[in-house]
Structures are given as C-alpha cells and as structure tokens.
Amino acid sequence: MKGASTRGGFCTAAAVRAVAAIPAVGLIAGAASGLALPPISSPLAAALLVTCFCAAACAWHRSRSFAFGLAIASGFFVGGAMLSADASRQALRPSLRAAFEDLARRERQHAAVEGRRLPFDGEAFATVTGVLRSDAAVASGSVLLSISVDTINDHVVDGGVQASVVGSLAAGQVEMWRAGRRVRMPIQLRRPSRYLDPDVPDFERALGWRGVTLVGTVKSGALVELVAPAEPIDECIAQLRAFIRRAVSRAVSGWSERSAAIVSAIVIGDRAGLDDEVQRRLQDAGTYHVIAISGGNIAILAGLLLAAFRCGGVLGPFAMIAASVVLVSYARLVGGGASVQRATLMAVLYFVARALDQRSPAANTLAVVAAAVVTAQPLAVADPAFVLTFGATLAIVLVTTAVRSWTLSRLLFPIVGMLAASLATETVLLPVGAMLFSRVTFAGLVLNFAAVPLMTVAQVAGMAIVPVAIISDRAALAIGFVAHLAAAGLVRSADLVQIAPLLCSRVAPPHWSAVIVYYVAVAAAWRRRDRLTATTVAVLAGIWILAEPWTLLVGRGDGRLHVTFADVGQGDSAFVRFPSGTTMLVDAGGIGGMSTFDIGDRVVAPILRAAGVRRLDYMVLTHGDPDHIGGAPAIVGEFRPRHVWEGIPVPPFEPLHVLRTAAQAVAATWSNVRTNDRTAIDGVDVIVRHPDVPDWERQRVRNDDSIVLELRWRDISVVLTGDIGRNVERTLKGRMPAAAIRIVKVPHHGSLTSSTPEFLAALAPKIAVVSAGRANHFGHPVPEVIRRYQDVGAKVFRTDEDGAVTVDTDGHSVDVRTFTGRTLSLR
C-alpha cells in the first residue's frame, strides 16, 4: 500500500510488526460483546460482514491504511460476536438440559397424582453414562467427577455433569476414576445453584460456559460402574500421573503434607490436596498463579529444554521440534487445562517459528495465538484465565522489549527485568482483578522475586523425584526435602500480606467507564503521548477503581432505612443500612450446592462491597445453624464487624467458638443479647424480642433460641424472626405493639412448624418475605403457610422466585423492589 503511511497514518513500524493484532483485537472484542449483548440476527450479521468486506476492499484500493485496518477489525468483530453467541447458545441449552427438564416435569406430574408437590425448578433421578473428563478430585466429604455425558436413561444426549460421590467408599475408589474412562451411575440431577442478587455473578451460566450443564449427587462409590477403560494412550498417561502423585507424596509428605500437596499442584496440576487456607493466602499475596499449572510452568519447562539443548550444542530445527513434542506431551500429562493449552500453543508456535527460521515479533505471535484460541473456543473470552494469561504475557512482552534497549550490567538486568515485568503485569491486570475477583493486590510486586524462583525449584525438584524414585527412595526423599523447602518458603512468603494488609484489598467491581479511562491513559502513557498527563489520568482512574468514591457517599446514608433480604439459597441473610449509614448484617447464609462453595465470600460479600461497606458496624447471629452462620467466617475476616450479637451461647458448638475467636481477632465486641435489649441506631429502635434468659446451658443449637429483632421507625416495623417455631411465636404475640406497616421475615423459611394463624393475626403483616432455596429438599415454603400470610392481607415475596428483596422506607411509606423486577409501594 504505497503512500499508506502518510495518507492513512496507520501503518507505522510498530503497527506492521504487530499486524496480526488488528484482526485479533477485533475478534476478541467481538467475542466478548457476543456474550455481553443480545445476539444479532444472521441476516444482519451477514450484511455487516459484507459491508466490512466491501469497505476493506475500497480502502485497500484507495491506499487508506487506517480505514482498511478499521474495516478488517470490524469484520472480525462481527465474526467474533457471531461465534461466541452461537457457542453460548449451544453451551447453555445442550440436549442434556432438555432431557433433564423432561424428566423433572414427569416427576412433578407423578408427585401431583400422589398429592405431593415438587418445586418447579426441581430435580430428576436418572442413570447417566459418559466419559470422565479428568481424574477424580477429593473434596470435603465427597469425591468430584467431571463427566461428558452421552446417554441419560439410554437416550443419546450431550452435555456435562459434575457429580459429587458421597459415602465412605468414595475416597477408596479415587484411583479407579481416571480421565478417559467410561462410567455409568444412578444420580440425582439438578441445575447448578444460582443466586439472584445484585452484583453477584451468574454461577450457573459460568459453569455452562465451562461445559457443566448439571450437577448431581451419587449416594455411594459402589454405584459408580466402570464401563470401559480409556484409550490406551490415555490409560498410560493416567497411570503415569498416578505414579507421579504417589512418588511426590512418598518423597515430600514425610516432611510436610501441605508441601506435598503444593508440589503436586505445581508439577501435575493436582490441587485436590490443597487446603483452602493456603489457596486464600496465595491469592491475597498475588502469587496463586505459581501453584496453578499455567504459562509459568510451561515457560520454565521450555527454558530448561532450551538450556539443555544449548549445553548439548544442539539448537537447530531438531531441537526446536523435540522441545515442542516434550511440551505437548507434558500438557497432555497434566490434563491439558485451558491455560496450559494456551501456553503450550504459544511455546510451540515459537519453537516451530525458530525451526523454520521465522523471526516474528513476540507480540505478533501472541496475537495469532489469541485469535486461534478464540476461533476454536469462542467462550474462552469468558474464562478469567484467558484474560490473565494474555494480559500478563502482553505486559511482559512489551516491557521486556523496552528493558532490552536499556544499558544495564549483567547483574542488574535480571533484577530490573523481573521488577519491570511485575510492575507491568500488575498495571495491566489491576482492573481485571477488581472486575473478576473483587481483589487488588500489590504484594506480587515484591513477592514474585521470591515466588517465581521458589516455584522453579519446587517444579524442578518435583520432576526430578519421579525418575529418582524408581532407583532409590532415599535419594527421592532427599530431593523431596528440597521441594518441601521451596513449597514451605512459597507459603511463608505470603505472610507479607499479614504484616502489611494494605497490600491486598477487596473491592467492588468498578464501573466500566473507569476501566476504559484507565486503559486508554495507560496506552497513551506507553506511547509517550503527553506522558505526564496520561500517567496522572491513569493513576486517578486506578484510585477510582480501588476506592469507588461513590461508595463514600452511599456510606453516609440517605435518610431512609434499607433492608435487603439476600438470596442465599436455603438460608438466611438480611443486610440493613440505617438512615445515617450505620450497617448491620443479620446472618450470613451458608451451605451452598458444593462443599467448596463459600456463600459468605461468593454471595454475601459482593452485596456488601457493592453497598460500599468497608467495615460492618453490627453483625447478628440469630442462632448457630449452618444455613445462618456458614458464611459468617468470610464476612468477619473481610468486613471486621465492630459489634457481634449472639443469643443463647452453646459452649460445645465449635463453629460458634471459632467465630468468636475470629471476631476477637478483628477487635469486635461480642455480646449476648436478651429480650427487651434496646439499641437506638440512627433514630431507629432495634429491639430484641427473643430469646429470654436461658434456664440451662445449651448443649446443641436450637431453632427456638433464635434472636428475634424488631426494627421500629416511626410508622414502620420490620421483624426478623430467625428460625423460631410455634412455641416462641406464642410468647411473642403480646410483645409486638401494633404498627401501621409491618414487614415480617417469615420464620424458618416458611416451614409448617412456624407462622401459626394466631401469630400472624397478632402481627398483621403487610409484607412477608420468605428466604428459601430453589428446589430445596424441605418443600419450603409450604403452600399452606403462604396462604396464611395471604389470608391476613400480606403481600408475599420469595427469594427463590423473586431473588433479593429490598425494602426501602422513610418511616411512613414503604417501597419494595426485587432482583427480578417486581415492585410494590405502600403509603
């Protein structure tokens, strides 16, 4: 395109070196838009593609390089949007989902004939057959199997199921359930849990995009039938993986079980043995990536291969092809996760290019790999690992190129290079961490100097254990000690966050406009266009992302009382913001659909962050049932409540004892409240209506010991009832003065053991809110209970149908809105 650089102003030297970025950026942006926006019709998409093609041809003919590049990027944008929209539709509505819904509908019809009622969003029992996608993973109290299902009750389907095998036999059969093997099992299927709350991700959709359509429970490992072995190559790989797992365990676990789990995670990606505490500490420290098989592990192996070939004096095409074969084999060995596949593809492309003597810039190779991944797997753009991998790699490639042009001594170059790479990575990924994980950490800037070398030592030592273990257990044990030291050092390095907690912050997801301003300013600063101004804007946008200034205004209150009954499944949690901004959380839910799912961290905490809560003022634990306090540890740890209220203590109950210790660690005042305790908060009377002073020391948690709170403000009464039953309701009838408008949290999720007609007649609620889980096994709320509230004139809201229910009041009138859009106003 002669003259394009002057007439178009686009084909600069930098643009030519990274020409693949033009279609790649368009494709990736289009794929992301295809998931975020409503799908466009095929005729419109075809028309847009033709328009882009014609515009590109015209721009080429006229030597308008900028217009040509824009047309090409636009065409790939449309193509990416079409690809991802179609992939999403297929992932979320596979034939397995339709078969499940048909089975669930039949079970509801059968139950109706017998006079029973099943939830609409129900379950279905079936026998499924399929292929294990990965080795079984041991979880808390169960074994997890990921299955690519091809038949359900002998009907051909396609889709993925994540099965939880419970019972004492499951753990002993883990070695039998290896990737590639064909299995059959009777299973109780259900849809993945989803929580309809503001600022809480759609977990069902996220699992669907990852290939998991349904989840389910198998009652015993004895029910899982091994139908057929895997392909011979897969069986060999599975046996090798099992041997590596055993060898690492024998060599390292004698020094430390935790270290053995970390080394297994680094070497073969087996994170089943990692405890939650280690994972959380490394996430806070920004070094979790070192124990997740990803680009770092592939890069280390690639570097070792190059060093070995260099030492042997062989760096020609044969060495490059041999290195590629080794990397592909290693990726297959560790399970070939998405991040491993991407890193391996990048490394193999690099080696093949070297073998063919092609010296394409690294940025160009990165763009080609990203485009290839999105073309083959359009839903990869929704995978946080995709964003992290390519974002970090882009930052490292750009800054490494710049550092190489500096005049540095041999001693300073690696130090400056690592610091620059860490700084660039943190800069590029700061908004990503805030948006995807609500976490921003700066500890990695320092800790990567220790974490990366320690990971390298652990990986090399862990790999060395395998061949050595065949020859000598004693020698393997010695190498295991080295791996243990590296793993232990890795965990201890994360202590920096405990010493300097400000290095890690949990934040609310930032507004998209702040993210755009941040990246535009960073790009402008990198291109040296008015660098001082651009850097200033980038810093201000970064501060906005960290602090979300609007939350400071929200935290001061707006003169109204707000109560949000969160959708936490089959549990309870209500967030209260008083007129002047004081905050209170009554219970924190618990017991999610999976043993590893922390409702406090994944559901309740995002609600509090979005509300601008930095520190809770009050936390109320109505009683110790896990569906009320299961999420409390995460809330206590992050939001450090100033005051914690407990009702009747239960000394033998360990979870409450652990919570009390955690509360004391954050300087919270722990109080036991009793009937008629009264606290004025921002002009609102918070009155304890139950429990009374106990007559004996409790040995177990009891529903009837629940704290009952009444929030009274002017003409409004809000009653939070915990899980009380009819016996307590009888004592409360005379304790509740009349109110013009009363809102009641329905006791015990709408169970028949509560909500007696006499209790409802005494309270005369205008609004009733039921907190219950979809398709729960208890049948909550019971239809008869719902009718009782309707009979006294109450409008009933349900978190299982309406999602989060928010009540706003000025003390005289009430406005109710739900996550699903239902509204009500009472004056």
pLDDT at position 121 is: 63
What does pLDDT average to over the chain?
A: 86
* pLDDT tens digit sequence for 475-500: 999 999 998 998 888 888 888 887 87
Residue 124, phi then psi, degrees to nearest 5: -150, 135
pLDDT at position 335 is: 67
Tokens, residue 403: 């550092």
* pLDDT tens digit sequence for 327-375: 888 878 776 566 677 777 777 877 787 777 766 677 777 888 888 889 9
Residue 716 has pLDDT above 90, yes or no: yes
Q: Which residues pair with 627 in a beta bridge?
A: none
pTM (two decimals): 0.85
Residue 7: pLDDT band by 50, 70, 90 thresholds?
Answer: very low
Higher pLDDT, 23 or 305: 23
Tokens, residue 39: 């799908």
Residue 600 has pLDDT above 90, yes or no: yes
pLDDT at position 373 is: 87
Q: In angstroms, what CA-CA distances link 766 with 70, 656, 783, 812, 814?
A: 59, 34, 18, 13, 10
Please give, one letter per residue, the 3-state secondary structure of 140-174.
CCEEEEEEEEEEECCEEEEEEEEEEECCCCCHHHH
418 alpha carbon, distance to own chain's centre: 29
For residue 48, the SS3 value is helix
* pLDDT tens digit sequence for 247-257: 888 888 888 88
Q: Which residues pair with 439 in a beta bridge?
A: 506
User: β-pairing, 669-672 with 643-646?
Assistant: parallel
Q: Do residues 157 and 128 touch, judged by C-beta distance below 8 A?
A: no
Burial status of residue 787 (CB atoms within 10 A of its CB: 0-12, 13-18, 19 or more): exposed
pLDDT at position 796 is: 98
Contacts 24+ apart (CB under 8 A), 806-809: 806/562, 806/563, 806/564, 806/565, 807/562, 807/563, 807/564, 807/565, 807/718, 807/743, 807/767, 807/769, 808/560, 808/561, 808/562, 809/560, 809/561, 809/713, 809/716, 809/741
Residue 446 has pLDDT above 80, yes or no: no
Closest CA to 741 of 770, 712, 761: 712
Closest CA to 818 of 390, 186, 801, 395: 801
Higher pLDDT, 439 or 189: 189
Residue 65: pLDDT band by 50, 70, 90 thresholds?
Answer: confident
Distance of alpha carbon 171 from alpha carbon 164, whole angstroms: 11
Q: Do residues 455 and 490 touch, judged by C-beta distance below 8 A?
A: yes
Closest CA to 660 of 635, 696, 633: 633
Query: What is the number of residues in the chain?
Result: 827
Residue 121, phi then psi, degrees to nearest 5: -85, 70
User: β-pairing, 225-228 with 214-218?
Assistant: unpaired
Portion of the chain with pLDDT greater than 90, in percent? 45
Q: Which helix (H) or strand (E) holds 660?
A: helix 654-665
pLDDT at position 37 is: 86
Residue 533: pLDDT band by 50, 70, 90 thresholds?
Answer: confident
Residue 36 has pLDDT above 70, yes or no: yes
Tokens, residue 808: 């706003």
Q: Which of 56-65, 395-404, 516-525 has the lowest mean pLDDT?
A: 395-404
Residue 405 has pLDDT above 50, yes or no: yes
* pLDDT tens digit sequence for 408-426: 677 777 777 777 877 888 8
Residue 620, phi then psi, degrees to nearest 5: -115, 125
Burial status of residue 525 (CB atoms within 10 A of its CB: 0-12, 13-18, 19 or more): buried
pLDDT at position 617 is: 97
Q: What single letter denotes the amino acid at residue 600?
A: G
Distance of alpha carbon 401 from alpha carbon 362, whole angstroms: 9
Distance of alpha carbon 364 from alpha carbon 366, whole angstroms: 5
Residue 2: pLDDT band by 50, 70, 90 thresholds?
Answer: very low
Please give, one letter per residue, the 3-state secondary structure of 255-278.
CCHHHHHHHHHHHHCCCCCCCHHH
* pLDDT tens digit sequence for 554-571: 777 899 999 999 999 999
pLDDT at position 6 is: 43
Residue 532: pLDDT band by 50, 70, 90 thresholds?
Answer: confident
Residue 14 has pLDDT above 80, yes or no: no
For the four alpha carbons of 230, 231, 232 and 233, in that order, the dihedral sign comes to negative
Mean pLDDT of 646-669: 94
pLDDT at position 564 is: 98
Q: Which of 195-209, 435-449, 653-667 has the lowest mean pLDDT?
A: 435-449
Q: Do residues 660 and 616 touch, judged by C-beta distance below 8 A?
A: no
